[in-house]
Every structure is written in structure tokens, then in C-alpha cells.
Amino acid sequence: MFMPRIQSPSSINLYKQCPRKYYYRYILNLEPLPSIHTLRGNITHSVLQHFFDVDTSKLTMKNFEEPLKTELQSLLVKFWNESKKNLDALSLSSDQLIFYFEETLMMLLNWFEKFTQKMKSFQGLSFSEIFQKLTPLRELEIASKKHSLRGFIDAIEDLEGEKRVMDYKTSKRFELTEEYRLQLAIYALLYEEKHGYPPKKVGIYFLKDTGKHEHTIPVDKALLVWAKREVAFVHEMTQSDNMGDYPKNITPLCKYSTGQCDYYEPCMVQKTIPELVQVKLD
């Protein structure tokens, strides 16, 4: 009996973007090439994950902003320094590293400004009570045997009884594209299976977005049905281990002015997989 592969929101969206790219990543298990965007995204997620664990015992609503902002900056320095080996491996110039560090700090402070406004929106509660209310469940893995599916959720918030599944993004575009909506729909499906009911909303914190608009969508039956249909479709289309069953989807994302797909060499230049692996090892 065929056992479906364990899919994730990332693998499903990758298949829909390009089946051949899915083949290289999930059938041959070729890791994507390291990049500053992936690395600093991981650093940013680590900062936001650990921010809610800082000692707030001496803080009040009158004095919390500067101490928490300092803690946020200290966490960035900590995780940036812990990633030094990986950062050095990217061979970026000093100016480039400074730029990406400062841009990452800007994104975190942008998030902190919105968090501060949420803190101040509560009335009649102490700082510790409000902080506890706004502390989400973080970095949770939810798996589904029924759908052969798993995902890592950045944050699950409970705002006055309204459950929200939220994701952090460091992208330049601040819109819920179909790719993002499908990712969120799958999170909602996973949440529903685990808890027996869906979250009220799913959404994304676009960390570069300075606007006040929240990027969330309500979870309804249609969203969950869509998620189930897309998951089933990718399971059906990924039963084979043969490359020929994973056609190329040639788009401007294959090669562009500032880079190319991680698998451009074997896919378009026709380098063999052993050659590609050797290049990565060198």
C-alpha cells in the first residue's frame, strides 16, 4: 500500500510553484543554498520566540517600553553573534552585514511598536496581566496523520477568547498572496484537527510593514475545504520517485537579475546531481 509523503505548507507551495523544484528538494533531498534572507529570517524568528521569556517582574505600564526595547535589541545581538559562522560563510562584505543587521533591527522595532500599542489598548489591568494575555504559544509543531501533514506555527494568540494563528514574514510585499493564503489555510486545518475546532483567524505579521492594518483572514468552511483539496492534490501528484513525473515550470523565478533558483544548475544547465553535490561540498 502506498504511504503518502509527509507534506508541509512549504512543500505543498513549492510543488505548486514548480514540480521539478519539489523533486530536487523533497525527493532527492538537496538542501537549498544558504542565503542571508533565510538566515536572518531564522534569527528574527528566534528573537521573537524568546522575547516573551524575558524577565518582566519589575516592569509597569509606566516604564516598560525602554527596558523591553533594550531586551529585544540584546536578543538580536545574541542570536546574530551565535550565527556568526553561518554569516561568515556567505562571504558578504562588512557593509552588507551592517545593512542586513540594521534592517533586521528595524523590522523588530517595527513589530515592537505594534506590540506596544496593543499593550496600551488594555484598560484597568496591570502590566503583568496584559503581557501574559499577549504572550502567544510559540514555535509549535502540529502534525496530522489523517492528512500526512505537519507544520511549524510561529504564534498562536488568544485575544479575548479569539484564537489566531499568526506567522512572521520578512518579505518586501505586504499582501496575502495565494501562496500565503494557502499556507495559512493549512495551518488552520492542522489547528482544527488538533483541537477539534478551527481558529477564528489566521494571519501574517509582515515585519517590514509600517502600516497599522492587520493582515488576517477569517477561517471558514471554504478555507478549510480548499486546504484539504490542495493537500490531497499534492499527495496524489507526488507518489512517484521519477524525475519525469515532475515537470519544469519555467518562469522568471528560474533566473533573474540578482540571482537564480537554487536548483538552476541541474535543472537548466543539465549538470548531474553528483556534480552539483560536489560543488556544494567544495
- The residue whose grid cell reads 521573537 is 48
Kindly state the cell numbers that stand for 71.
Answer: 531586551
CA-to-CA dists, residue 90 to 39, 72, 85, 96, 170, angstroms: 10, 25, 9, 11, 19
Residue 103 CA to residue 138 CA, distance in Å, equals 23
Question: How confident is the prediction along the chain (282 residues), in pLDDT tens digits per residue?
Answer: 457 899 999 999 999 999 999 999 999 999 999 999 999 999 999 999 999 999 999 999 999 999 999 999 999 999 999 999 999 999 999 999 999 999 999 999 999 999 999 999 999 999 999 999 999 999 999 999 999 999 999 999 998 889 999 999 998 889 999 999 999 999 999 999 999 999 999 999 999 999 888 899 999 999 999 999 999 999 999 999 999 999 999 999 899 888 899 999 889 876 555 444 444 433
Place of cell 517582574: 57
CA distance 211 to 217: 17
Task: Give the chain's length.
Answer: 282
> Where exactly are the structural domains of the chain?
9-29+136-237, 36-134, 252-281
